[in-house]
Amino acid sequence: MGEAAALASALAWAGTSVGMARLSTRYSGAVLSGLRFLIASPVVIALMLATGGGPELAGAAPRAVGAIALSAAIGYGIGDTTYVRALPRVGLQRMAPTTTALFVASSAIGGVLLLDERAGWALLVGGAGVIAGTYLIVASRVERLPDPAAPRRLGLAATALVLTIVAGCWTTATLLLAGGRGDLGALPVSAIRIPAGGLTIAIGTAIASRGEVVRRLPSGADLWLMVALGLGGTAVGSVLYIYGVTEAGAARAVILNSTSPLMVVPLSMYFLGERPTRLIGAGTALCVLGTLVLMAFG
């Protein structure tokens, strides 16, 4: 059941990416990111309280709470918002595997340099696979069905910059969380991090737009899709991942969860009309293999 939960969480993330890609052509990336976390927040908090995590959270050190909230502002506020905003101009098939692989590789390197985690051959081999796969994907162009309203795709340099920013924010947030959360468990951390991320994005966006963003929120079918992404993708996906780590172990859960880019390819073909190229297929395979080597043997 643990392995199945980890795979289900990977599917939840892949489905969330596809849903965000569809909505990102009509709404601001910051709006979508903020709503997703705000919708998921009550579910995560309720789960934390139901499992007896309230006293643990109440006794948390202020420094740990601050580190968790800051990691949310960096990882969710900047990283996830940039990811969603860039989706229509980069393409999901280029975005998902490269950001996932770069995130895993840079987190592994950061763990060795900053947290005294051990290095080895897996770091070199896996890192090389990630870099090679990223180059193939970024250098390739996704063939898309004709759509006059589709935004113009970014070039090689701009795409590489976006991918670097997203992966860099996710890595910084992860290392900050790992080094500053103290003894807090996964659910109390999530009960701080997800609401903090949603509030940071929502408040920042409202101030920057002087309240104008409130008049451009999703409505109708788009609103129901947003609710599904918040509940199914963010809340349930996070719970499944935590269950997978608990039952199957961290190594297996992370390895299985990192297969989400492979699930993105058929979903993006069916729902978004993206047609993969051979370079994207080869690059995705290298990224996933490099990630698996890093997580299994690193």
% of the chain exceeding 90 in pLDDT: 2
| Average pLDDT for 227-254 | 71
Q: What is the pLDDT of residue 252?
A: 59
Name which residue leads in pLDDT, 277 or 157: 157
Distance CA 275, CA 81 (A): 25
Euclidean distance between CA atoms 247 and 241, whole angstroms: 10
155 φψ region: left (φ > 0), alpha (ψ -120 to 50), beta (else) = beta
pLDDT tens profile 190-224: 888 888 888 888 887 777 766 666 677 787 888 89
Indicate the pLDDT class of residue 70, thresholds 50, 70 and 90: very high
3-state secondary structure of 148: coil
Amino acid at site 1: M
Written as one letter, the residue type at 84 is: V
What mean pLDDT do residues 243-260 have? 62
Residue 33 has pLDDT above 70, yes or no: yes
pLDDT tens sequence across 127-164 = 677 667 766 765 665 444 444 455 667 777 888 888 88
Q: If you average pLDDT over every residue of the chain, what do you get?
A: 77
Look at residue 165 in the predicted model and tell me its pLDDT: 92
The per-residue DSSP string of 75-88 comes to IIIIIIHHHHHHHH
CB 49 within 8 A of CB 213: no
Instruction: Say if CB 195 and CB 41 are below 8 A apart.
Output: yes
Amino acid identity for residue 223 in this structure: L
Share of the chain above pLDDT 70, in %: 76
